[in-house]
Each structure stands twice: as C-alpha cells, then as structure tokens.
Amino acid sequence: MRAAEPARFRMTKVPAAVIAAGLALALVPSSRAAAPQTAGLQVALRAWGLYSGQIDAVAGPSTRAAVRAFQLRAGLPVDGLAGPRTRMALGPLGRPLLGRRPLRLGAFGWDVSVLQFELTRAGLYRWPIDGFFGPETADALQRFQQARGLAADGVAGPSTLARLRQPAPSVRRPVPVATGSYVVQPGDTLTAIAGRFGTSLSALAHKNHLSVDGVLLIGKRLRTPQSASTTTSPDAVRGLVDEWADTYGVDPALARAVAWMESGYQTNLVSNAGAWGVMQLIPSAWDYVEQVLLGQQIPRTVEGNVRVGCALLRQLLHEFDGDERLALAAWYQGARAVREHGLYPETKTFVANVLALRTRV
C-alpha cells in the first residue's frame, strides 16, 4: 500500500552540491552536456504537448524552443529561460527542484522526474519518466540504495540524492531484446506479451506454434510482430486521447491526465499484472469493455488501447453520477472496492494528482 508524503515534511540538511545543481537550471544553457534537472523541465514541457524529444536532460534547441513556446502561451517574458516564474506556471510538474525535499511513495513533481531520469541512466528504472513516485520508482530506488550500500528504505533523502551524482559502480543494465523477438521473463504471460507488442493473444500464439492455454517457459524466445505503436509520438497520443474522449463524451483534459499518470503517453508498457499501453488496461478490463460496453472486438493497437480506456472512463463516470473523484478512484482501485471500502490512501494520492494535472497536460 502506498502512502502519500505529508506536505509539511521538508528536508532539513541537503548537500550544497545538490542545491547548486538545482539552482543552475534557471538558465537552461545551450549545451550538449546532460544536466539532470533539465530532465524535469523536459517532462513538464512534454506534458503540455510542447516537447516531443527524448528525456535526455540535454537543453538542446528543441528544449529551448519548447520553453519559449510555453512562455508565449502563458503570457510570460519570452526569454527561453526556465526561471522561477516559468516553472511555477508549468504547474505540478514544474516544481520543486530536486533537493528541496525528500522523495517517497506518492510524491509528485519535477524532482521526481529528475530522480526517475537518474535511475533510468543507472539502468534500474524502465518505466515512464512522468513525475509520479509509484511502486516502480520505489523499487528502482531501493535497488540503487542497495548497490551503493545505503539503507534501502525507498526514500530519496540527502544521502541518496548526494550519491546519485557520483560515478556508479558496475550496475547490470537491461539487455536490449533483438528486433522481432522477445525472451520470456519470470512472471510473464502470453496475454501481457501480446499487449506489449500490440498484437492479439491468438496471433502471438499462432506465430510461435503455442496453445493459448499452454505452459509458457521462462527463457523461451518468442517471435513477435513489428508494431507501429512503438513509434507513436506523444503528440499523436494526445490527439488520439482527445479524439476518443470527445467521441465518448469524456472531458479530454481529464482523459489526458489519466493517460499521463498511467503511462506518460508511452505506448508499449506492460506491468507485472499485464496492464498494457497508454491507458494501462488489464486484460479483464479490456474484455469487459469489448464484451459488455461496446459489444465488439477492439484491435490491440495504440488507438484501440486509448479507445477502450476512454470508453471505460465514460462508464465509471456514469456509474458514479459524474463524480470525477469517485470515477478516478474506481479506475485506480476498482468500482466495487470504492463502494465497499471508500478510497484507499494511495488512491487518494492518485486522484489528487490526476485532478491537478487535468489543465496541465
């Protein structure tokens, strides 16, 4: 169970080097060197639909152009610098800089994006860099702490933040999978793998001469289709969410916020529970939408994933009489659990973050 960080909790002793690194971002320099705080800026600009490049912490021309475009939109002086006024206008993802507070489960903001970038660079985090400190971020952080001989408490306090910028010991990085194939990992299911590659369960089984009900052996190399969904840009994802939200009568801003919180607009993520895609839908939810809500099969594509997610969000809003807070809670923990138990603490954090983002993505 995830617990939100109390707003009143603040770090008391932060290494001077960490604070200096944070303050240095105010000028978004024209440099090809990576400055980790810039990753937070890129994530915030991506959420606004103004930056579609990689989250690489390099303040190149596209990052600076996106800053200027945002400043123009926000009615700020257009100087291309990510100063305090610009970061404040960016909303929840524009603050605080890394080093201003300890980070733990439920935290949300610029500093979390930077932490996720650093953990990605260390080869420990493979999920969206989206500014939300969820279980995946906590797991990667604990593995980082263990590797550095720190207390593996899953909290990024002064000691952990200081070690982030030190040269890393030998860390085992994920080995890229060859194009067109996938090696079965512990916990994988055929359904989840099919979702990851934007294909159907039956098609993947047929391609590999497997039974959909058979045993899936760890270490087996599967042949996978080449999916166009791997190249879908964040801008294209936003467009699909807007289109299908409008089709189903859902506020596009709300649907975009849900999509960002679930995947950071990334298309082929698959959780250990088999939740897949932009909207992170588990197989049972997909089946429910197909069989009960829409009465037809929906292609396992990026657009299909967005369509199913928007249809499900519409149904939850209907079930809870348009109450967005309860509908979002049902999205996160299930409608029945909301009715029987109310909102879990981690659900309240998720709901609050989505609602804070609805006008910022």
Of 298, 331, 325, 295, whose CA–CA distance to 312 is shortest? 331
CA distance 146 to 139: 11
Of 306, 180, 283, whose CA–CA distance to 234 is shortest? 306
Helix, strand, or coil here: 178? coil
CA distance 354 to 330: 13
Helix, strand, or coil here: 345? helix
Of 262, 303, 324, 346, which one is the catalytic site residue?
262
Size of the chain, expressed as the number of residues it contains = 361
Q: Is 72 exposed, middle or buried (0-12, 13-18, 19+ CB in 10 A)?
A: exposed
Catalytic residue flag (residue 262): yes
Of 190, 8, 6, 39, whose CA–CA distance to 125 is shortest? 39
Q: What DSSP string describes 105-166? A: TT-BSHHHHHHHHHHHHTT---S--SSB--HHHHHHHHHHHHHTTS---S-B-HHHHHHHTS
Catalytic residues: 262
